Structure 1
Amino acid sequence: MKFIFGDEQFFINKNLNQIKSSFTLDQTTILDDNFEFQDLLDLIAINSLFSDKKLIIVKDFELLTTNKYNKTLQKKSDSLIDVLSNFETQNEVVFILNSAKVYNNAFSNFLIENAKVIECKKIAKKDLISELLILTKERNITFSYSDLTIFLDKMPDNLEIIMNEFNNLTQNYQLINFELIEATVSKYAKNEVFSFFNSIETFNLHKIYEKYLERVSEGEEIISLIAQFGNILSDCLNYFYMLQTGLNNIQISEKTKQPLWKIRKIASVLKYLGIKKIKHQIQELGKLDLLSKTTGVNINELFEIFLIKNF
Structure 2
Amino acid sequence: MKFIYGPEKFFINKNINKIKNEFPDESIVIFESNSDLNEIIESISTKSLFDQKKLIILNNIEILNASKLTKKEESIIKKLIYVLSNEKDNEIVFVNETNKLSSNLLIDFLINNSVNIECKKMEKKDLINQLTILVQEKNVKFSYTNINVFLEKMPNDLQIIMNEFNNLVSNYNEITFEIIEDIISKYAKNEVFSFLASIETYDLKHIYSKYLERVSEGDDPLILIGQLGSIFNDCIAYYYMSKLGMNNVEISKKLKQPDWKVKKISGILRNLSFSKIKKITKELAKIDIQTKTTGVESNELFEMFLIKNF
Normalised to the residue count of structure 1, the TM-score between the two structures is 0.63
The 3-state SS of whatever aligns with 2:94 is strand
Point out where structure 1 has 5 or more consecutive residues left out of the alignment. 198-206, 208-213, 231-267, 276-297, 302-311
Q: Distance in 2 between matches of 1:23 and 1:193?
A: 38
- How many matched pairs? 229
Residue of structure 1 in register with 2:61 after alignment: 61
Question: What displacement does 1:271 show?
Answer: 7.2
Contact 2:135–2:169 (8 Å) recurs in 1: yes
- Classify 1:223/1:188 alpha carbon distance in 2 versus 1 (closer, same or farther; 3 Å): closer
State the superposition RMSD in angstroms. 3.6
Residue of structure 2 in register with 1:14 after alignment: 14
Q: Which letter does structure 2 place at the counterpart of 1:9?
A: K
Question: What displacement does 1:223 show?
Answer: 7.1
From 250, 254, 257, the counterpart of 1:273: 254
Residue of structure 2 in register with 1:156 after alignment: 155
The 3-state SS of whatever aligns with 1:83 is helix
Q: Distance in 2 between matches of 1:102 and 1:194?
A: 23
Deviations 1:243-282 (A, max 9, x none): xxxxxxxxxxxxxxxxxxxxxxxxx56874399xxxxxxx
Q: Distance in 1 between matches of 2:128 and 2:177?
A: 16
Question: What displacement does 1:147 show?
Answer: 1.3
Q: Which letter does structure 2 place at the counterpart of 1:53?
A: K
Residue of structure 1 in register with 2:34 after alignment: 34
The 3-state SS of whatever aligns with 2:50 is coil
Question: What displacement does 1:32 show?
Answer: 1.6
Residue of structure 2 in register with 1:5 after alignment: 5
Residue of structure 1 in register with 2:133 after alignment: 134
Contact 2:155–2:187 (8 Å) recurs in 1: yes
Residue of structure 2 in register with 1:70 after alignment: 70
2:203 is the counterpart of 1:222: no
Question: What displacement does 1:224 show?
Answer: 8.2
The 3-state SS of whatever aligns with 2:49 is coil
The 3-state SS of whatever aligns with 1:117 is strand
Contact 1:63–1:108 (8 Å) recurs in 2: no
Q: Distance in 2 between matches of 1:108 and 1:72?
A: 17
- Classify 1:129/1:274 alpha carbon distance in 2 versus 1 (closer, same or farther; 3 Å): closer
Question: What displacement does 1:110 show?
Answer: 1.1
Q: Which letter does structure 2 place at the counterpart of 1:132?
A: L
Q: Distance in 1 between matches of 2:4 and 2:87?
A: 22
Question: What displacement does 1:42 show?
Answer: 1.5
Q: Which letter does structure 2 place at the counterpart of 1:22?
A: E
Deviations 1:153-184 (A, max 9, x none): 11111111111111111011122232332343
- Classify 1:269/1:191 alpha carbon distance in 2 versus 1 (closer, same or farther; 3 Å): farther
- Classify 1:62/1:188 alpha carbon distance in 2 versus 1 (closer, same or farther; 3 Å): closer
Deviations 1:80-117 (A, max 9, x none): 111111243x2211111110211232221211111111
Q: Distance in 2 between matches of 1:4 and 1:157?
A: 20
Q: Distance in 1 between matches of 2:104 and 2:230?
A: 40
Q: Distance in 2 between matches of 1:167 and 1:34?
A: 33
Q: Distance in 1 between matches of 2:162 and 2:172?
A: 15
Deviations 1:219-246 (A, max 9, x none): 423378659x99xxxxxxxxxxxxxxxx
Residue of structure 1 in register with 2:187 after alignment: 188
Normalised to the residue count of structure 2, the TM-score between the two structures is 0.63
Question: What displacement does 1:50 show?
Answer: 0.4
The 3-state SS of whatever aligns with 1:175 is coil
- Classify 1:225/1:106 alpha carbon distance in 2 versus 1 (closer, same or farther; 3 Å): closer
Superposition map of 1:115-130 within 5 A: 115-130=114-129
Q: Distance in 1 between matches of 2:85 and 2:227?
A: 52
The 3-state SS of whatever aligns with 1:26 is helix
Q: Distance in 1 between matches of 2:109 and 2:10?
A: 26
Contact 2:3–2:114 (8 Å) recurs in 1: yes
Question: What displacement does 1:300 show?
Answer: 4.0
